[in-house]
Structures are given as C-alpha cells and as structure tokens.
Chain A
Amino acid sequence: MAVVSRLNAQPKPTAVPAPMQISLRGVRKYFGASGFVAVDGVDIDIPQGQFFVIVGPSGCGKTTLLRMLAGLEGLSEGTMTINRTDPSRPENSMVFQGDSLFPWMTVFDNAAYGLRMRGVPETDVRESVQLWLERIGLWRFRDRFPSQLSGGMRQRVSIVRAFANDPEILLMDEPFSALDEQNKMVLHEELLRIWEASKKTVVFITHSVDEAVTLGDRIMVMTANPGREKAMIDVPFPRPRNVLELRHQPAYGDLVFNIWEQLREEVQRARANAEGDK
C-alpha cells in the first residue's frame, strides 16, 4: 500500500553526512484501470542545495515523477520524504513546461502570485518581485501582459514566479524546451547565475543532454516505459560555470557522448515499443 510521508522533522542521523532534502524509496506510479506503469521503483536521494537533473526519452515518466514531487500527483507505491530546513518557507515551487503564465495578469502580478497566495504583506511582495524582475532584466516590462512578451521573456517570468516565492525546492519541467537555441543559451546562463546565488535544491527535467550537463550537479538517466533509473552520473565541472567556455572543454564533449550512449538505447527501445503497439 502507499506510504506517503512529508516530514517536517529534522533530518535523522544517517550514514550519509550531507542532509538529504529529498528521499524517494521504491516510488511507483500507475494510472487507472489500464495499469499503465509510468514510474517503476525509483530510489533517489537528493542532498540539500544540489542541482539534480533527470534526463530521459519522451514518455519515460520523468514529468510524472516531478508532478509527484510537486504534490500534483499521488504515489501508487513507495515513500517520498521531504526534509524541511525552514518550515516558514514553501516546500516547493514549479516552473512548468510551456505557457503557464496567467494571460489575465501582468508580468508583475504573475511574478507576485506565489507570495500573494500565501499572504505575504504587499510591501514585501513589491520589494521581492522588483528584486527578482530586475535581476532577470524584466522590471521595465512589469505592466505588460504575457501576450505582449516573447516566448523567452515569458519563460523568464515563470522562473521569477518560482524564485520569488522563495521555496526550499525548485521543480523545473523542461522549462526551455520550446525556446530556440540562442534564447536557451542565454537562459541557461541566467538560471545558473540566480541559482548559484540562492543555493536552492533543484530537480530539473529535460530531454536535452546538453542542457543536463550544462546545468546539473548530478544526472539521472531514465529508461522508458516503465520509467526506471538507468544510470546516475556525477557532473565534475566546478561552479560558477560559464556556459560557453564549459561547452568548449573536451571533458564536456566526453560526458555528453557518454550520456548519449546510455540514452540512445532507451530512445531506440521506446521507438521499438511504440512500433510494436501499432
């Protein structure tokens, strides 16, 4: 039966020295009567402050995993333990895939959403939102509606919306997948810049190996259908990182190649499965 715990307690003393912010044990998720298994027995430990990336072929259950962490889906089996360091802050905020800004709110109101929902005084909301919008260069667009912004600007606002809420954990679901290469590069740099200053725990989902290696401390490669852990890879590059210089290093290319090899099998298997279903 499902055992779900969201502990607010202090981390218990364990063999691992770094306090784990997120611990998943035997997490499974299946849907409805079809019994489709999206996530099949995942164990993950993510220490506080780590940039954790999950990479896998489309349909491998990585979004489902993230939605479980966000509390938007329940677990079918297993346990999920979130250790809070500061219960006064929200546990997590999510940056969604695609357009998730409210079209009826201005940039400012969108960015202020999380803070207002938890009743932060309006003067503090103003201060915080201004800080974050300035940091990402969108303060002068604060009165615009999302329909008046480019795709890249919109995604920056949804990143601000999550950061301004000041959660312990940031969940990011392929936030840059709809953007062009140049925008992506700029946003990678911006994300790293503001994240390195905040040291939040991040769980980042992507199908792009380059993105995973550029951003992550540790990368989990997932198998497709059902979603399991295929490999866990540490990214050795120091921080702060310069995206362009990083990509120029031979070690970067080797790591990308290595992960691609793991992933290629999965993509082919996923395709074979899809053909077989026809």
Chain B
Amino acid sequence: MARRSSFRGADRFIGLLTPLVLLGIWEAAARTGLIDARFFPAPSSIVHQFGALIANGELGDNLMASLRRLALGMLVGGVPALFLGLAMGISRPLRAAIDPLISATYPIPKSAILPLVLLIFGLGEMSKVVMVALGAFYPILINTVMGVANIDKIYLDVGHNFRASRWQVFRTIALPGALPSIMAGIKLAMGMGLILIAISEMVAASDGIGYMIWNAWQVLTVDTMYVGLLVIALLGFIFSVILDEVERLLIPWKGNKA
C-alpha cells in the first residue's frame, strides 16, 4: 500500500510539474521575444492583469453576471428535464410519444439556435438563460430516461413482490437506481452550460465573462482575453470538483468498498 501511495504522490508531482515547466518556457520565450508577446503575452503579465481586473471590480461583476445566468439556466432547463426524464423512464407510452421529438431536436447545435432565441427572447437576460437551459435540458433528460429505463428488472420484481405502490416503486427504486446516470447527465449539462454562456455573451451581452473575452478582442487587450479563458477553465474545474463531492454524498453506495 505504501508503495502504491508513494507512486501516486510521484504521479501528482509530475502532473504539477508539467504545466509549471511549460509556463516557465512560455515566460522566457515571451520575454526574450522568441514568441510574439502581442499574441502570447507572458504569464506574468496575465497574472498582473488578473489582479488589476479584480481590483477594479470588472472581473467580479462579469463573473457574477455569468454565474447568475448559468445558475438560472441550469435550473430552468435541468428541473423540467429531470421530471420529464423520470416520467419517460417509467412510462413506456410517454417514452414512445416523446422520444422521436428528442432524437430529432437533440442533434441541432445549440449555438445555431442562438439567433432564433435572440429573436424570441430579445437581448435581455432571458435569452442567455434560455441558451444555458437548452444546453442543460438534453443531457439531463437523456441520461435520466436511460438511468430509469435501464434499472435491472429484478429490482422491479422485488418491488412488485413486496407490494410496493407505483409511488413507492418510484421513490425507492426508480429514483435511486437512476441517480448515478442522472449525476453523469448533470456533469455533461454543466460543461454544455459553460460553452453556451460564453458563446451567447460574446454575441449578445454587455457583461459576463464571454462579453469580457469578446470585448478584449475588439479593443485588443490580449491579457484580458487570457484572463477570461483562465476564469472559464477555473470555473469548469471548480464545478467538477463540487459535483464530484455532491455525487459522493448522494450516491454513498458507489465506490466505498470495505
């Protein structure tokens, strides 16, 4: 065991070392003029800009605007997807009725719907929320349906043999049985939400991280652009850490073998 964990420690060290070395090379190359600092500003200057944007409140305001849209959109898209998915997973007729609609609309790139969403919901907050909601809806719906529909039949037999009512079957078997798949759907939805919030803020917003990146391109403050990218990357990382933790709490029967 000790051997194994020391290997794991070594792996982690190497994993940290690689990006640090690359950053060092980048810094040196930018300073010596080996690469064009207009396109690839030195990491130190990006960090400097990062600090400045925090200090003048610009980063905080944009981040809050994006987070608010993201949270609203996840709720507006995710909650109906969850309930519809559970219902479709349980009811065969409902699945037969709605599946074709889902299969037909799912492959449309959500970014391609943006003009239509702008047309319908205008340039206000609503259009951005709707874009995130659209992105969250499909993965959560599809994973929930799959999770419920793929529950091992023997568990349903147990439920029927112990005379569980429909509601009891739902609460004690369908929902917990589908939970791992639902969590996977929520993770996919989160990633999709980040992509869509960046795109829609670039096209149709006056604040938010997406707007900040687009504006930086227009006024050619490349440092700010990199700060925006860094923030989005950090958001993705933080969300995945949080969701992993939520998963551990919600699905305690997975992965804690004695």
Given A71-B160, A165-B162, A102 and B168 touching (CB < 8 A)? no
Beta-carbon contacts of A32-73 to B below 8 Å, as 1s and 0s? Answer: 000000000000000000000000000000000000001110
Contact with B along A12-44 (1 / 0, CB 8 A): 000000000000000000000000000000000
Closest residue on chain A to residue B176 by CB atoms? A104
Distance between Cα atoms of A104 and B252 in the complex (Å):
8
In the complex, are the beta carbons of A113 and B158 less than 8 A apart?
yes
Name the distance in Å between B257's Cβ and chain A's nearest Cβ: 6
A242 at the B interface (CB under 8 A): no
Number of A-B contacts (CB under 8 A): 63
- Type the 1/0 row for B159-185, where 1 means its CB is closer than 8 Å to any CB of A: 111111100100011001101000000
Classify chain B: how many residues form its interface, as a range.
20 to 34
B253 CB within 8 Å of chain A: yes
- B253 and A103 contact, CB distance less than 8 A: yes
A104 adjacent to B179 (CB under 8 Å): yes
Task: Report the separation of the CA atoms of residues A113 and B161 in the bound assembly, to the nearest whole angstrom.
Answer: 11
A9 within 8 A of B: no
Whether A72 lies near B257 (C-beta < 8 A) is: no
Q: Is the interface of B mostly helix, strand, loop or mixed?
A: helix
**Cβ–Cβ contact B157 & A96, under 8 A:** yes
Residue B56 CB within 8 A of the other chain: no
Q: Which of B129-161 contact A (CB under 8 A)?
A: 154-155, 157-161
| Docked CA distance A93–B177 (Å) | 22
CB of A68 to closest CB in B, whole Å = 12
B154 to chain A: which residues have CB within 8 Å?
96, 98-100
How long is the Cα–Cα vector from A67 to B154 in the complex, in angstroms?
A: 12
Query: Which chain B residues lie closer than 8 Å to A98 at the CB level?
Result: 154
Set B163, B177, B251, B254: member contacting A118, Cβ < 8 A: B163
User: Chain A binding site: helix, strand, loop or mixed by DSSP?
Assistant: loop
Q: How many residues of A contact B (CB 8 A)?
A: 25
Asked if A195 CB lies within 8 Å of chain B CBs, one says no
Residues of B within 8 A of A117 (CB): 159, 162-165, 168, 172
Contact B172 A113 (CB under 8 A): yes
Is A183 on the interface with B (CB-CB < 8 A)? no
Q: Is the CB of A72 within 8 A of B160?
A: yes
Chain A 127-153: CB-based contact to B (< 8 A → 1; otherwise 0): 000000000000000001111100000
**What residues on B are CB-neighbors of A118 within 8 Å?**
162-163
Q: For the complex, what is the distance from the CA of A137 to the CA of B161, rounded to whole Å?
A: 25
Of the candidates A100, A104, A146, the one whose C-beta lies within 8 Å of that of B158 is A100
16 contacts across the A-B interface (CB closer than 8 A) = A71-B160, A72-B160, A90-B163, A94-B161, A96-B158, A99-B154, A102-B172, A103-B253, A104-B179, A114-B162, A117-B159, A117-B168, A117-B172, A118-B162, A146-B253, A147-B253
Task: A71-B161, A147-B253, A165-B162 are known; give 9 further A-B pairs, CB within 8 A.
Answer: A90-B163, A93-B161, A93-B162, A94-B157, A104-B179, A104-B253, A105-B176, A145-B256, A148-B256
